[in-house]
Structure 1
Amino acid sequence: MKASRIYLVGLLLSFLMMSLGCSENVSPKISGTDGGTDASTDGGEKPDGAIPNLPADPFSYFLKPTDQLGFQDSPQAFQLTHDGALNTLAGELDFQLGPKRELLDQPIRTLKGGYQPVFLFHRYDRGVDYRFEAFAAPHALDPRENLVCFVRVTAVNVTNRTVETAFSATFRDRRDSTRHELKAPTWYRNRFMDAEAFDKSVVTAVEPPFVTKGTHLLMALGSSLGEAFDASAGSDPQVLWSFELEPGAEETFEFRIPYVPIERGRTAEVAKFMGLDHGETRDAVEKHWDTLLAAGTGFSIPEPKVEETSKTSLIYDLMARDIDETGKLFTQKVNEFQYDAFFPRDAAYFAYTYDLLGHHQIAEEVIEHFLLKDGGGSPTALRRIYPDDWGQS
C-alpha cells in the first residue's frame, strides 16, 4: 500500500513538472510573433525592425477553447471560437490579417480587469500587432432587446519602418463542427426578423455602413480609414482594407453584429442598433457588473486570481440565465450553447450560490421557474422537465 502511495505521488509530481515545463515553452504565436521570417533567433532586434518584446499572453492548456459573449439574462449569446471567429444565429464572421490575409487563429484571450466579460486578445503579423476588444450587450442593457456583439480592432505598427498591410472580415456559413448551431426563442427571433424571408434570401451586399442579406442587416462596420475599402458580395460578403502604417501609427476597425439579423423595414429596431456606441456601451456593461458585484457578498484574500475567478464565475452564471417574453420568468442554464433547462436539483445549486453571495432576489427567480401554483398562487408541485428524470425533480 505504501509503495502504491509513493508511486501515485511520484506520478502526480511528474505531471506537475511536465506542466511547468510546457508553460515555459510558449509558441512564437502566443508570445507575440508570427513564427515566420520576422522572428529573430538570437533574442535581438527582428530583421524587419519590430520591437522584439511584445507582451506575452498567458499559457492555456485548452486546444480549442470556446467563449460566450453575452449579457445577463439575454436568451442567447455569441460564440467566440478557438480560431477567433464570431459565431452568430446567421453564420460566422471571420477575420483575416496582413497582406497574406491569414485567419486570426488566436485561442488565447484575457478578460478586462481579470473578470469583466470584455475579451482582449491580439495577434502579431509582419510588423503589425492587431489588438482585439470584443463584448456583447443589448440596447439599454434590456435582455429582451436584440443582443449585439461589438468588436474593435486596432492595428498598430510596432516597428521602426513603414509597413504595408491589410485587414479583412468575411461573413460566411459556419466553418465546421466546432461551431455550435445557434438558435433563438421564436418570440425573440420574430421581434427583429422575418425568418421565412431571410431563409429564402441569397443575395448579399455591402452597402456602407451595412452588410446585408436580402432585406436584413447582418452587421454594421466602421473604420478610421472611412470607406476606403474593397468589398465583395456573393455568398460570403467580405470587406478588405489595404493600408500603410508609419512607425508607431495605428488604424481602427469596428464591427457591430446583431445576434438576430434585423429586417430593414423595422425602422425602430434599426435605429436602436445604429444608436449604439462601442465605448459608451462597454462602459455601461462594466458599470452594470461592478454595481451588481458590489451589491452582493464580498470577500478579500491575498490572491487576486481567486477573487477574479469568483467574480467572473458569477457573471458567467448570470449570462447563462434566460429571460422569457414577459420579463417575469427566468430559466437557469449552464451556458448558452448546451442544456436549455435544468432539473430542479441541479438548478438548486445555482440558487444556493446566488443566495450565499447575497443575491437573494436572483436566487428566488431561479427557484420560481420550477414552482407550479394553484389559482391562488400557492405552490403545489415542482415542474417536471422530462418524464424520465429519474427522481431528479
Structure 2
Amino acid sequence: MKKHAPNLVCAVLACAPLSAHAETYLHDPRVDERTHDQNGPFNYFLTPSDALGFSDSPKAFQLTGDGAISSYWSEMTLWAGTPLKRLNSRVRTLDEGCMPIINYGSLVDGIEYRVKTFAVPAELEPQGNLLAFCRITATNPGKKSQRVALGARVFDREGAWRHPLFDKVKPMWWYDRFIDQSKWQPWKLWEATEVREDNAVFRSESNHLIQAYRPDASGWKVLTVKENVDPFEFILELEPGKSASVDFVMPFTPVSGSRTAEIKNVTTARFDDYLKRTTDYWHEKLNPVTRFEVPEQKVMDMHKSSLMYDLMARDLAEDGKTRIQTVSDVQYNEFFSRDAAFIIHTYDMLGLPKVAEECIEHVLLKDTNGKRNGLRTTHPDAWGQALWTLAAHYRMTGDKAFVERVYPLVAPHIAKLEEETAKDPWGLWPVAGPYDNERINGHYTGHSFWVLRGLKDAIEMATVIGKKDEAARFQKVRDQYEEKFLKRLKDITDKTDGYIPPGLDDPFAGMDWENASGGVYPFGVISADNPMVANTVKTVRDFAYQEGIMTYEHNAYKVRKSKEGKGVDWSQPEHT
C-alpha cells in the first residue's frame, strides 16, 4: 500500500488541552440571548441536540434541547436551585474543542452550576453497556455562605424531539445483555425506588438499576425519594469562593438486579477515572490523522469534532467483527449508502485507511458461507455510490490487492444497471418515487450523476487489474448512457435558463439536493466552467439559502419563478 499523498498534510495541529477550550460558558438567565451570542461561544441553535457516545458503541445518549440525558429506555434530568429548577444551557462546549465531553453551566439563585458530561461503555468495551457520566459542580461566587441544592431524576422520556429520532435499528441483542425485558415495565407516574449498596438507585417493582450517585467529601445532605416523582436532592451550605460536586452515572440500558457483574460495572465506575480514559482514547484516535491548518480556531475544531462524530456513529455489530458506518447513533442510526460513501472517503482523506476498509467490509454483501456476492445498496442512487466507495479507496491508497479482492463484484453490478435501464423508455435509471431527499416522482437528476460516476469507477478498477476488454465494455455502456442523459438534461435546462433541476421531468418538482452540485463533484459529469454549473449554483444560492444555510423545501427555480410573479402552483408542496 503506498503512502498517502504528502500534499494533504499541511500542518500539525493536535487535539491537546487549550486553556480557551477548558472553560465552561456560564449562562445567566438575567441576560438576553443576543448578549450571550455576542459574548459567549457561538451557537446557532435555540434548542440544540447533542450526542453522548463512543466509537463502535451501538447507540448514543441524546443530550436534549432542554438538558435531559436521554436513552431508548429512560432519561436523566438535572436540577438546581431552591426550589429545584431544571438545569440547562443552550450554549455548550466540547473539551479541547473536539472531544465528546460536553460542558455547560448556568447561574441559578446566585450559585454557579457547571455540568460536565460524557458517555463511554463499561471498561471501554464497545459492546459493554454505555454509561453516561455527569458531574454537577456548584460554586459560590458571593461573599457569604449560601445554600446550594442540586438534583437528578431518572424517569421516562418526556418532551419533544426525544431519542429515538427516526430510529429503526433496535439492537435487542445488545439490550438483552443488561435488561430483563420480562420484568421491565413501562414507567409509571408514581412508583417506588430504592437506594441499595454503593448508592445504586433501583426501580423497586421491576428490580432494575437506573442510576448511581456519588457526592464528593464536602458534606452533602442527600434527600432520597421513595417514589420516583421528585429528583434525588443534594443540599449543602457552601462557603464563599468554594466549590462542591456530585457525580452521577446512568446506564443506557437499565440493568436487571440479577446481573451482578453488570451492576458492578456501573456502581464501581468513577467519573475521574473514566474521564481520563475517555480523553486518552480520543487523543489516540484524533491526533495521528492527516491534518491541515487555517487561521481560524473554529474551523480547526470543526475538522476534529466532525471526525469524532463520524467515529462515534460507527457501530460494532453483534458478531463482534463487522463495523457499520451509520449517520448518527441518535438520529438516522442506520447504514445509508450515500452517507457512508462520503464518510468512508473522509477516513481515507484523513489518513485512516484501515478504518475506511473496516467500514467497506459492510458494503460488500456476503452469503451465509461468508462469500462475497454483491454490493450493499439502500436507495436507487446507491448503485453508483457503492462503486465510488471502492474506487475512491483505491485512489487514496493505491492498494491494487484491494481492487483485485472486490473486482469480481463489479460486472454483476453493471448487469443490474443494464436490467434497470432496460425498463425505462428513456434508457436511464427508471422513475423513482418520492422516497427521500429530492422527493420527486420521476427521473432523479442525481441518479444519473451517480450512474455515470459509478461507471467511470468501474472502468478505472477494470483498467487497474488489466481487464481491458471489460473496461472497454463498461466505457461503451457509459458513453451510451451519457449521450441519453445529456440530451434529457439539455431539454430540461433549456426551460430553466440553465438551472439543473432535481428531476428531468418537471423543472418545478422536488427539492434541491445532488443537482445543486452542478454535476461537478464527485461526479465529474459536467466541467466546472460549464454555464449550467454557474447558473445552477447562483440560482440555488440566491433562492434556496436563508441566513447562509441551505433550506430543504421547494427547489430554487420554483421559488425564483414565484418571486418573478410567474403564477407558480403551490397546491402540492414537495415536503410535508
Q: TM-score range by the shorter chain?
A: 0.7 to 0.9
Provide the C-alpha distance between the structure 1 equivalents of 2:192 and 2:352, rounded to a whole number of angstroms: 46
Give the Cα separation in 1 of the matches to 2:370 and 2:253: 35
Give the number of the structure whose residues are more often strand, by fraction.
1
Which of 217, 228, 249 aligns to 2:221? It is 228
Pair 1:35 & 2:30 matched:
yes
Instruction: Tell whether the 8 Å contact from 1:170 to 1:239 is kept in structure 2 after alignment.
Output: yes
**Which letter maps to 2:111?**
V
Q: Is the 8 A contact 1:157 1:163 kept in 2?
A: yes
Once the two structures are superposed, what CA deviation does each residue of 1:27-51 show, in whole Å capped at 9, x if it has no partner?
Answer: xxx8643419xx9xxxxxxxxxxxx
Partner Cα separation in structure 2 for residue 365 and residue 238 of structure 1: 44
Aligned runs of 1:10-89 on 2, under 5 Å? 32-35=27-30, 57-89=40-72
| Equivalence map 1:264-343=2 (5 Å) | 264-343=257-336
2:209 match: 217
Q: Secondary structure at the match of 2:100?
A: strand
Cα offsets for 1:88-137 (capped at 9, x unmatched): 23222112211121211311100011111111111111221001100000
Unaligned residue ranges in structure 2 (runs of 5+): 1-24, 33-37, 384-576
Q: Quick one: distance in 2 between partners of 1:292 and 1:168? A: 34
> Residue 199 in 1 paired to residue 185 in 2?
yes
* 1:68-97 deviations in Å (ceiling 9; x for gaps): 000001100111111211112322211221
Structure-1 residue corresponding to 2:382: 392
Corresponding residue for residue 125 of structure 1: 108
Q: Which whole-Å CA distance do the structure 2 matches of 1:254 and 1:89 have between them? A: 22
Question: Which residue is equivalent to 1:27?
Answer: none
Deviations 1:167-226 (A, max 9, x none): 122222222122123774111000011012112676431315022113110000011256
CA distance 1:308–1:204, shift in 2 (3 Å): same
Alpha-carbon contact 2:71-2:163 (below 8 Å) kept: no
CA distance in 1 between counterparts of 2:105 and 2:149 reads 15
Query: More relative contact order in 1 or in 2 (CA 8 Å, sep 6+)?
Result: 1
Task: Give, as a single letter, the amino acid of the residue that structure 1 aligns with 2:210.
Answer: L
Any idea what SS the aligned residue of 2:101 has? Answer: strand
Within 5 A, what are the aligned runs for 1:73-112? 73-112=56-95
AA partner of residue 219 (structure 1): Q
Equivalence for 1:364:
357
Q: Percent identity, aligned pairs only?
A: 35
SS at match of 1:144: coil
Larger CA Rg, structure 1 vs 2: 2
State the shift of 1:384 in Å: 3.8
Give the TM-score normalised by the residue count of structure 2.
0.56
Measured after TM superposition, the shift of residue 316 of structure 1 is 0.3
- For residues 234 and 381 of structure 1, do their structure 2 counterparts lie closer, same or farther at Cα, with a shift above 3 Å needed? same
Tell me how large the CA RMSD over aligned residues is.
2.4
Counterpart amino acid of residue 106 in structure 2? R
Within 1, Cα distance between the matches of 2:115 and 2:342? 35
**Range with greater deviation from structure 2 (98-107 or 234-243):** 234-243
Distance 1:99 1:364 in 2: 54
Q: Tell me: CA distance 1:153–1:238, structure 2 relative to 1, closer, same or farther (3 Å).
A: same
Matches of 1:200 and 1:270, distance apart in 2: 21
Q: 1:359 to 1:207 in 2, by over 3 A?
A: same
Question: Tell me, which stretches of 5 or more residues in structure 1 are unaligned?
Answer: 1-29, 40-54
The answer on whether the counterparts of 1:204 and 1:211 sit within 8 Å (CA) in structure 2 is no
Name the SS of the counterpart of 2:214 in structure 1: strand
- CA gap of 1:271–1:382, structure 2 versus 1, over 3 A, is same
| Larger helix percent | 2
Q: Which moved more, 1:107-116 or 1:337-346?
A: 337-346
TM normalised by structure 1 equals 0.81
Contact 1:134 1:151 in 2 (8 A): yes
Pairs aligned (count)? 344
Give the letter for the 2:122 counterpart. Answer: H
3-state SS of paired residue (2:224):
strand
Helix, strand or coil: the match of 1:232? coil
CA distance in 1, matches of 2:319, 2:369: 20
Q: CA deviation at 1:238?
A: 2.4
The structure-2 alpha-carbon separation of the partners of 1:376 and 1:217, relative to structure 1 and needing over 3 Å to count, comes to closer
Cα distance, 1:377 vs. partner?
A: 5.4
Equivalences for 1:2-17 in 2 at 5 Å? none
**Cα distance change of structure 1 residues 331 and 243 upon mapping to structure 2, 3 Å threshold:** same
In 2, Cα distance between equivalents of 1:373 and 1:329: 12
Which of 348, 353, 357 is 1:355 aligned to?
Answer: 348
How big is the shift at 1:376? 7.7
